[in-house]
Each structure stands twice: as C-alpha cells, then as structure tokens.
Structure 1
Amino acid sequence: MNITLWIVQGLVALGFLYSGWLKAFQYKKAKASWGWVKDVSKGFVAFIGLTELLGAIGIILPQATNILPVLTPIAATALAVVVLFGALFHIKRKEYREISVNIVFFAFAVFVAFIAY
C-alpha cells in the first residue's frame, strides 16, 4: 500500500503544482487555458494557485522528511476541499466537462488523507 500511496501523492502533487503555478504566476496562460479565470479577480486566481502550491508541497514533504508527517493528511484534506469548491463553482457555471478533473483529484486527495492518516 505504501507504493500506491506514494504514486497517488506524486500524481496529486504534480497536478496541483501545474495548476497552482499557472494560477499563481502565469495568469495569462491560466486565462487562456480556463474560461472561468476571466470571470474572477486576478488576486483570487493567484490565491487559489498559492493554496494549491502549498497543498502540493504539504502532501509530499512532511511525510517524505518525516518532519510533522501529520501535515500530509491535513494537506490532502485541504486540497480535497479546494477541489470540492472548484467542482461546485463549475456546477454553478454549468461547466460540466471541467468537473471530471475535480472528481479525480478529489478522490485522489481523499485517498491520501485516509491512507496517510
């Protein structure tokens, strides 16, 4: 199970590093990639991006270094909440195609939260 956990943690971290980096530091690319970015403030998009970047670090680093490994399931839970709110946002906007990504990352984050705990 340990190998599976690390694989899922890596996938979650990579996904959130990518999306977080675009949202936090490459606003124009994020705006071109995701239609919803045009309809919210740049500061809010950057905030979401920074949150995702911190979550991506938190889902790997504490457990990998064995320094406060309890932070890993906390980070995973926080990322699951971010993804859940993202899914609700997409439902409200009738962007149903976007929700599949939210569902996958929600499931992965919940898996990490439960298994790492």
Structure 2
Amino acid sequence: MNLALWISAGLLTAVAMAGGLSKTFIPRARLAAQHGGEWTRDVGQGFVRTLGILELLAAIGLIVPGVLGIAPVMVPVTAACWIALMIGAMITHGRLGQFGLVLLNAVYLALALFIVCGRFGPWPLGS
C-alpha cells in the first residue's frame, strides 16, 4: 500500500507541476484560447498566476517532505489542500459545462483523498 501511496503522490505531483507551470508562465489570453482554459477569461492574470504558484507548491509538498523525511506530515496536509483546490476547479468547470474536466478533477480529488486517508491513517510517513 505504501507503494500505491507513493505512486499516487507522484501522479498528483506531475499534474500539479504541469498545471502550475502553465498557469504561472503562459499568458492568460493564450490559456483562455486552449480547451478548458475558458475560465481564465473572467479572472485577472494575478489570480491565474497565484493558482499556478499554489500548484507548484503542491507539487513540492506532495513529494519533498516524504523523500527528505523533514515534516512528512506535510504530504497529507498538502493532499488535503489539493482536495479543496479540486472542489473549486470542479465547481468552475461545472459552471462552464466542461463536464469532462469535472470528471478529471474528480479523479485527482480521489487520488488526493487516498493520500490523505493513507498517510494520516495506517501508512504514515516517518514512522
């Protein structure tokens, strides 16, 4: 089960890194032109960049504390924060009628929930 939790954290890290890099470094107008990026039309560039930075921090928080053994409790805490982020993403994409993206965000949410339950539960890091 520990391996499954590490794989889940790795998958979410890749998702967070990709999303964070795109939101942080791709201009809002270009994001809005991409499929699924319509939500960026109604918000400012600062908001989009802030979300990108939060996703980059999540990518770090899902892996680095566990690998280094420094504050490993941050892994499930980060996963819990990711759940909140995915709920917001699901609401946003749902309002835009992007139900495929809602489903994708639900998968990411499920992975994060698995990490939270596993790392706060029977398979904590650093024990």
Aligning the two structures, in what range does the TM-score lie when normalised by the shorter sequence?
over 0.9
Using the alignment, how far apart are the partners of 2:32 and 2:6 within structure 1? 31
Offset of 1:30 from its aligned partner? 2.7
Candidates 68, 71, 84, aligned match of 1:68: 71
Unaligned stretches of 5+ in structure 2?
121-127
Partner residue of 1:32?
33
Structure 1 ranges of 4+ moved more than 6 A: none
Is there any run of 5+ residues in structure 1 with no aligned partner, and where?
none
How big is each residue's C-alpha offset from its partner over 1:55-99, in whole Å with a ceiling of 9 and x where there is no partner?
A: 111011111111000111000000110011110111222222211
Say whether 1:86 aligns with 2:89: yes
- Taking structure 1 as the reference length, the TM-score comes to 0.93
SS at match of 2:6: helix
Matches within 5 A, 1:1-117: 1-28=1-28, 29-33=30-34, 34-117=37-120
User: Aligned residues, how many?
Assistant: 117
Q: Take 1:40 and 1:65, find their aligned partners in 2: how far apart are those partners? A: 37
Q: Distance in 2 between matches of 1:96 and 1:90?
A: 7
Superposition RMSD on alpha carbons, in Å? 1.3
Using the aligned pairs only, state the percent identity. Answer: 32
- Report the residue type matching 1:58 in the other structure: G
Provide the C-alpha distance between the structure 2 equivalents of 1:111 and 1:30, rounded to a whole number of angstroms: 30
Q: Give the structure with higher Rg (CA).
A: 2
- TM-score where L is the length of structure 2: 0.86
SS in 1 for 2:97: coil
1:39 deviation in Å? 2.2
